[in-house]
Structure 1
Amino acid sequence: MSMFLGTHQNRFDAKGRVSIPAPFRATLKTQAQAGEPLVILRPSHFHPCVEAWPTMAFSALATPLDDYDPFSEDHEDLATSLYADAYPLDSDKEGRIIIPESLRSHAGLTEDVAFVGLGKVFQIWNPEAAEKRRQQARAQARTLTSGRKNNHTGSPS
């Protein structure tokens, strides 16, 4: 299975384009289907970053919408949250994309950009914010794994 791994840093060029890291492009291309965009970008619900989804993975996000009446306010809220700020993009021959201004603003992207692999998806961050997030995630992961270890051994948490 192809996964998005590692953290890669690139810079916007004079025309506002940024190159998707080669390993991420390769993973996107293995998952892309003819006639579909290479990637779908959207703002994160949790962090000041941009989420990047392969098209098939993004399509799977819509499955919970099937549980709601299509004419209900809940369905409309979920659909708006999912689709209204989503941008399907293809890269140019050099693997560059133009991140829409609303997403650049949401993530505080200026000159440098950090691409952070999360397995099935990746995120695009301001590099300083990405480093803080990685440290925060590692600390939280230690707490989560130590809690699991204690629960499995029967020792108190």
Structure 2
Amino acid sequence: MFLGTYEPKLDEKGRLILPAKYRDQLAGGLVITRGQEHCLYVFPAEDFMQMQEEARRAPLSNKEARNYLRVFLSGAVDQEPDRQGRISIPANLRTYAGLERDLAVIGAGNRVEIWNLESWNDFLEEQEAAFADRDDEIIPGVL
């Protein structure tokens, strides 16, 4: 499980050093793709393959499912971190997420999310009040 928030820097070659806490879980390979709210999702390769297998069950006649999968999968790239725990983020994904030098890398349970630091801080500020004031369950039986 991925937890926590880290603020690494993106180097001039578009590389990110993964937080040490995440490296073992991603050492066997990972997939980076577009995420919601203009962040990037990073999945362990094995988990991504399982998700893709489940997504294949969506009916081809469902236009919304086709469109979602096109966007989600067309931006996906697979990688293995180098010896220093670095990954390269392709230019098209950096543009999508507005990534510059300052990043927020957050653990989101089954995935890692990579955000532009300013965008993450804006999102968090906006969502924290709603989070603190929530009085009903969002995930029945859990939260």
TM-score for both structures, normalised by structure 2:
0.82
Residues 11 and 113 in structure 1, CA contact (< 8 A), matched pair in contact too: yes
1:54 equivalent to 2:44? Answer: yes
1:82-111: CA deviations, max 9, x gaps? Answer: 321111111111011110001101111111
* Consecutive unaligned residues in structure 2, runs of 5 or more: none
- Give the aligned partner of residue 19 of structure 2: 21
- Give the aligned partner of residue 77 of structure 1: 67
- Give the aligned partner of residue 109 of structure 1: 99
Structure 1 stretches of at least 4 aligned residues deviating more than 6 Å after TM superposition: none
Shift of 1:147: 2.1
* Partner SS for 1:47: helix
Count residues with an aligned counterpart: 137
Q: Greater CA radius of gyration, 1 or 2?
A: 1
- Give the aligned partner of residue 9 of structure 2: 11
- Give the aligned partner of residue 110 of structure 2: 120
Residues 20 and 96 in structure 1, CA contact (< 8 A), matched pair in contact too: yes
1:68 equivalent to 2:59? Answer: yes
TM-score for both structures, normalised by structure 1:
0.75
- Give the aligned partner of residue 141 of structure 1: 131
Q: 1:78 to 1:48 in 2, by over 3 A?
A: closer
- Percent identity between matched residues is 28
- Give the aligned partner of residue 89 of structure 1: 79
Shift of 1:73: 6.7
Cα distance between partner residues in 2 of 1:4 and 1:83: 22
1:30-67: CA deviations, max 9, x gaps? Answer: xx3xxxxx1111111x2121111111221232213214
- Give the aligned partner of residue 155 of structure 1: none
RCO higher in structure (CA 8 A, sep ≥6): 2
* Partner SS for 1:61: helix
- Give the aligned partner of residue 35 of structure 1: none
Cα distance between partner residues in 1 of 2:96 and 2:73: 16
